[in-house]
Structure 1
Amino acid sequence: MSASVRPRRRSVAVGALVVAGLCSVLLVDPSHAEEPAAPGTLAAPRIHDIQGDTRVSPYAGQQVTDVAGIVTGVRTYGSRGFWIQDPTPDADPATSEGVFVFTSSTPRVAVGDDVRVSGTVGEYYPGGVDTGVQSLTQIARPTVTVVSSGNELPAPVTLDADDLPRRYAPTGDPAEGGNIEALTLRPDRYALDLFESLEGMNVAVEDAAVVGPSTPYYELWVTLDAEANRTANGGTRYASYDDQNAGRLKVESLVPVAQEPFPTADVGDVLTGTTEGPLDFDEFGGYLVAAREMGTVESGGLEPESTRPQRRDELAIATYNVENLNPGNDQAKFDRLAEAVVSNLAAPDILAIEEVQDNSGATDDGTVAADQTLQRFVDAIVAAGGPRYEWRGIDPVDGEDGGQPGGNIRTVFLFNPERVDFVDRAGGDSTTGTEVVKRRGRAELTASPGRVDPGNWAWEDSRKPLAAEFSFRGETVIVVANHFASKGGDQSLYGRFQPPARSSEAQRIAQARVVNSFVRDIRSAQRQARVVVLGDINDFEFSPTTRALTADGALRSAVDSLPRDERYTYVFQGNSQVLDQTLVSSSIRRFDYDIVHINAEFADQASDHDPQVLRFQP
């Protein structure tokens, strides 16, 4: 297996049967008389018969012999095998003419070979059936006969916006959990059905807009519809649960990177020319072009943004997910993050950072302190020309806050003591929360810094919010830094259950309600208290989580102040989306808010999140 690709284990699941892939290849005289099929096998079915007009083959679990096709692609790494396509299609647009042949070892066929394949038809669920993804129809344990070589390939189906359905997926039967596997494909109505009807077939995209940067796994995302929910920088914005951006498609290369480097691409670039190869499916993004031929990346000229400096009478509060920062990281990561704080974020007065790991990083040795991580970061900021920030935080209980095992990630406040005062009140620790009291007509925290209701079940295996009081030019501001539970376990947009279940959402809604209640306690003690809630909320601006945060007018999301095409902090599978948020209490009537796009759209990232800055006059 090549070390340059994401490892994939491949088996064929047929009910309870798992068939490992084995392959033998015969070179024969095409005039050789065919042997009769063995009992229980199907002789010479066409590929479109094997694929059928639903997502599951009508031949699943059965032996087939002498399936004819032209080899259109060969994969020699990862999930090894090849694709064949019948050059004489039927008249049904729902039935694919291509299929993947899983060999497990390096295939001994070449593109353009006319072959006959015998083996077992199965449905493979990438990542496992429990992930909820769709299956890939394939032939395993193959015996392959090469009839001739150097044949012309079937002409590719060119994928473009003109033939792309606006609807993304059909709705499944609620009694079956929304499963769409048994539904007849309607490629003229649903994008997922269109792609499924082309599974394994030779396809092409031309001059496609890049909407997801190239990754360390040698993949990038394009869109067939560059105008759909277009962002200011040329990406595709995830606008709602019903607007999944049907044109998104992943691109990988069948050529090992040792032979041909995978192109580096940022959002806003264009994959020019023709990119052509079989249409595949995996668990890391769904449908993809397994490119036999790659186009050329043409730069769109995207550059990292910088926000303006705060004025003397403005308080600048920022948040930044620094992606598992720990002392084991290269100095280059600390330097890049520090440079961003100084140059791109204009040295904010208060900075809430998420995913700060403990001093031993991912080593699970009981360490919970993160002072070495923070000292190294603060020193890097000074070296970049910034202020010497001080920090406040609370070490978590070992292994209780989720994230990378052993890392003990937490939220931490950095602040510039030359611009803002931290109001220290002892009493808060990993299990003792802060409360709100009213003193002299003002809301105060009993512990600063202090965690918000850390014993609440909502924070199980998740980061607890960190609250603190700050004083700026004599005015008090209460800031709550957050890192809500991740989306792990949610069904994918491209899965076999539609609409997909968002199982992780229940915990984030509960977390949002706890934070909302805390803010309402503050406002009950002081109606005009200035409160800022910010961080990695791990949910969208239109989500039930955000509605729970803003319930009863306790808060409003600053992202709503931006033009729609600038509302995103993260890019996932080609969707530019809001995961990080800043919310303010109603007493902060006027503010200037900026999402500073420096990471998410770029192949070269210091973090996978974009930071954001809020400026206002307290």
Structure 2
Amino acid sequence: MVSSLPRTAAVPALVALALAGGLIVTAGPASAAGVRIHGIQGTTRISPLVGSPVADVPGVVTGVRAYGSSKGFWFQDPEPDDDPATSEGLFVYTGSDPAVAVGDSVTVSGTVSEFVPGGAASGEQSETELTSPEVTVVSSGNALPAPVKITARSVPAAYAPTGTAATGGSVNGLKLKPRQYALDYFESLEGMNVSVSDTRVVGASDQYGELWVTVKPSEDADRRGGTVYGSYDEQNTGRVQIQQQASTAQSPFPAANVGDRLKGTTEGPLDFNQFGGYTIVAGRLGTVVDKGLRREVTAKQKKDQLAVATYNVENLAPTDPQSKFDSLASAVVTNLSSPDIVSLEEIQDDSGAKDDGTVSAAGTVRKFVDAIAAHGGPAYAWRSVDPENDKDGGQPGGNIRNVFLYNPARVSFEDRGTADATTGTRVVSAQGGPDLTLSPGRLDPGNPAWQDSRKPLVGEFTFRGKRVFVVSNHFVSKGGDESLTSQHQPPTRSSEAQRQEQAKAVNSFVRDIRAVRKNADVVVLGDLNDFQFSGTLAALTKGGVLHDDIDTLPVPERYSYVYNGNTQTLDHILTTPSITDFRYDSVHINAEFARQDSDHDPQVLRLRP
């Protein structure tokens, strides 16, 4: 999508991005006569002429954007220099429908600016552009500069240079090395006419009219066509976002799933935006070829197997259409094969996102379990604890919380005490082993780790005479983290600190259970909002208290989410060492598809306690 921010986020005429990530006031040259586009772009990410007026810059219009809040056009110098670090293309921000057409030869006068999508606080790179333009059309119908072909060979294998300590980790001031680093390569083409050909879709089409492809089909490929994000050093350099120059109202964007092909040539200027980084804004869009991706169905649990699932149902509210409830219910019954216990994340209260003080979600849950029964599933019972109003984060007014569904024909729930939002459940030693003081209960809700975040839901279940403790989680989101294309390399992941504290709290609680009975069966699951290789999971599993069971899958199958063309793991099921007989399945039914019931794939564990 184009940035929704007003262009006041552009760096003003006399202000440039600091190499250390802040702002520097600089007068710049009084004027720059006779300059061409490559002189404006320069050899670093920041123009050497930022804040300067320039006059009569020549070029040919290669793309026009006449919708959204970032209206303008791209133009390119047909007479390039011989420096691969300097781009020959540039975006001109007009703020209204541009009075030019593709193929026009123009001269442009204006002010050189650096626009930071998301604002300077985002830590994002900037886009060099001209603002307050005066445009003269010299001629029309000219041939466009031949596109630079982005291929597997042209994109370097290394992702980005490392920022220096002197610049606060920023790479803005480093000279571009387009033959050495992928981000430098793309930056050296910023604003230029580029193309990709016969690429594979690695991020499905979305509501904003965009998808992701890779020019490196063998790069960390999974068996369903995606590109696996396997570590902080595997950013997957072949990914690039695709949009189109026309609005979706003017020209519907094609629906594509992961693994589909974008056949033929896709060509247009290379833009930079807040939500996707480097993006081809296509004037010529390839054709989507359906490769037949199908939604998975997990195996049915056997009589002596307990099936436990986690499913983030993405802000499910009674105000949602019945079709969403029906589709989610059908997935629980058919694709998840009716698990015995389901941990649901993002169940909203009975008034949805209306901020009216409502905290009960009984109506939301009842509507869902009724839909499951109507689709042939079990008559699920459920347990939860209402949160305090507006204390658990998520969509304002929605009061999202975790909920246990369970099949009483297969599993019994051990009710103890009367829980509330602020009283934490504790582990006590009782005859026969550990008990919870509150079941269901919330885990340490007064701990600062849970500020503006969901508090874990804990419950005791009995299956075939054996006690199983289940801890349902929805850790704080990655909001505020810098993107992979940040000016800081490596990017700052500020939200991880809170998730690590949350993980420590859960780890400690499981230790309390095991201190009473070392071989206690505990299942910790949910949307942890972090990767299996993260510090969060290291804190959660510290001391061998828990094992992250998704690690039992082959590496190409370890994912539950797709973001910016990277398939990655945010949803997990972990178990204590006493649970050794199990089968794990990440059931891919949402994240890879243009039509989604949720943005997460559910996870199912079939175990013998």
TM-score by length of 2: 0.96
1:70 aligns with 2:78: no
**1:118 pairs with 2:109:** yes
2:487 is matched with 496
Distance 1:326 1:40 in 2: 57
Cα pair distance change 1:385/1:95, threshold 3 Å: same
Residue 411 of structure 1: which of 402, 409, 413 is its match?
A: 402
User: The residue matched to 2:572 in structure 1 has which SS?
Assistant: strand
The corresponding residue for 1:530 is: 521
Deviation of 1:322 (Å): 0.3
Shift of 1:285: 1.2
- Between stretches 419-428 and 549-558, larger displacement belongs to 419-428
Residue type of the partner of 1:454? P
Q: Describe the superposition over 1:430-449 as per-residue Cα deviations: whole angstroms up to 9, x where unpaired.
A: 11111111112411111100
| 5+ long unaligned stretches in structure 1 | 20-38
| In the alignment, structure 1 residue 53 sits paired with structure 2 residue 50 | no
Matches within 5 A, 1:449-464: 449-464=440-455
User: Match of 1:34?
Assistant: none
Return the offset for 1:17. Answer: 5.3
The answer to whether residue 21 in structure 2 is matched with residue 7 in structure 1 is no
Q: Is the 8 Å Cα contact of residues 422 and 471 (structure 1) preserved in structure 2?
A: yes
CA contact (8 A) 1:427 1:446 kept: no
State yes or no: 1:472 paired with 2:469. no
1:205 aligns with 2:190: no
Structure 1 segment 501-580 matched on structure 2, within 5 A: 501-580=492-571
Contact 1:399 1:408 in 2 (8 A): yes
* Residue deviations 1:173-225 (CA, integer Å, cap 9, x gap): 12322111000000001100000000000000001110000000000001111
1:100 paired to 2:91:
yes
Contact 1:52 1:96 in 2 (8 A): yes
**Contact 2:412–2:461, Cα closer than 8 Å, also in 1:** yes
What amino acid is aligned across from residue 152 of structure 1 in structure 2?
A
When residues 160 and 105 of structure 1 are mapped into structure 2, their CA distance, relative to the original with a 3 A threshold, is same
Write the distance in 1 (CA, Å) between the matches of 2:425 and 2:382: 18
Matched residue, 1:611: 602
Secondary structure at the aligned position of 1:351 is classed as strand
In the TM superposition, what whole-angstrom CA distance separates every residue of 1:334-361 from its partner, at most 9, and x where no partner exists? 0000000000000000000000000011
Paired residue secondary structure (2:184): helix
The residue correspondences of 1:202-601 to structure 2 (distance < 5 A) are 202-601=193-592
For the aligned residue pairs, the C-alpha RMSD in angstroms reads: 1.3
1:80 and 1:15 mapped to 2: Cα distance?
Answer: 18
Contact 1:555 1:584 survives alignment (8 Å): yes
Whether 1:176 aligns to 2:167 is yes
Q: Is the 8 A contact 1:12 1:18 kept in 2?
A: no
- The alpha-carbon deviation at position 9 of structure 1 amounts to 2.3
Distance 1:74 1:366 in 2: 47
Q: Deviation string for 1:372-412 (max 9, x for gaps)? A: 00000000001111011010000000011000010000000
Aligned to 1:143: 134
Distance (Å, rounded) in 1 between the aligned partners of 2:95 and 2:366: 49
Q: Report the Cα distance in structure 2 between the residues aligned to 1:612 and 1:14, rounded to whole angstroms.
A: 45
**Alignment pair present for 1:158 and 2:149:** yes
How far apart, in 2, do the equivalents of 1:246 and 1:9 lie?
Answer: 30
* Letter aligned with residue 483 of structure 2: S
Q: Aligned with 1:510: secondary structure?
A: helix
- Counterpart residue identity of residue 516, structure 2: A
Q: SS at the partner of 1:117?
A: strand
The question of whether the paired residues in 1 share the 8 Å contact of 2:87 and 2:188 is answered with yes
8 A Cα contact 1:56 1:181, kept in partner: yes
Question: 1:6 deviation in Å?
Answer: 6.6
Amino acid corresponding to residue 437 of structure 1 in structure 2: V
Is the Cα contact below 8 Å between 1:512 and 1:549 reproduced in 2?
yes
Task: Kindly provide the amino acid, as one letter, of the partner of residue 4 in structure 2.
Answer: P
- Residue type of the alignment partner of 2:159: Y
Contact 1:103/1:142 (<8 A) preserved: yes
Tell me how far apart the structure 1 counterparts of residues 377 and 11 of structure 2 sit (CA, whole Å): 60
How far apart, in 1, do the equivalents of 2:356 and 2:13 lie? 40
**Secondary structure of the structure 2 residue equivalent to 1:43:** coil
Are the structure 2 counterparts of residues 229 and 315 from structure 1 closer, same or farther at C-alpha, using a change threshold of 3 Å? same
Asked whether the equivalents of residues 12 and 122 of structure 1 are also in contact (C-alpha less than 8 Å), the reply is no
- Kept in 1, the 8 Å contact 2:13–2:52? The answer is no
**Residues 5 and 218 of structure 1 are in contact (CA less than 8 Å); yes or no, is this contact kept in structure 2?**
no
Q: How big is each residue's C-alpha offset from its partner over 1:46-93, in whole Å with a ceiling of 9 and x where there is no partner?
A: 100000000000110000000000100011112111111011111100
Q: 1:6 touches 1:217 (CA, 8 Å); kept in 2?
A: no
Name the amino acid aligned to 2:307: A
The percentage of aligned residue pairs carrying the same residue is 61
What residue in structure 2 maps to residue 41 of structure 1? 31
Give the corresponding residue for 2:21: none
Residue identity opposite 1:9 in structure 2: P
Aligned residues: 596
The residue identity in structure 1 corresponding to 2:349 is D
Q: Letter of the aligned partner of 1:63 in structure 2?
A: P
Query: Which shifted more, 173-182 or 187-196?
Result: 173-182
Does the Cα contact within 8 Å between 2:13 and 2:111 map onto a contact in 1?
no
Instruction: Give per-residue Cα distances to partners, 1:525-555, cap 9 Å, x unaligned.
Output: 0011000000000000000100101001100
> 1:580, 1:489 → 2: CA distance?
20
Runs of at least 5 residues in structure 2 that lack an aligned partner in the other structure: 17-28
User: Separation in 1 of the partners of 2:320 and 2:2?
Assistant: 22
Instruction: Give me the whole-angstrom Cα distance separating, in 1, the residues matched to 2:423 and 2:246.
Output: 56
Amino acid at match of 1:226: P
Once residues 151 and 166 of structure 1 are traced to their aligned partners in structure 2, the CA distance between those partners, rounded to angstroms, is 36
TM-score (norm 1): 0.95
Which digits, 9 at most, give the CA deviation of each residue in 1:281-302, with x for residues without a partner?
Answer: 0001100000010000001110
The residue identity in structure 2 corresponding to 1:377 is: F
- Cα distance in 2 for partners of 1:521, 1:582 equals 19
> Structure 2: which amino acid aligns with 1:208?
T
Letter of the 2:129 partner, please give it: Q
- Equivalent-residue separation in structure 2 for 1:463 and 1:70 (angstroms): 53
- SS at 1:70's partner residue? strand
Residues 12 and 123 in structure 1, CA contact (< 8 A), matched pair in contact too: no
CA drift at 1:12: 6.3
Structure 2 counterpart SS, 1:162: coil
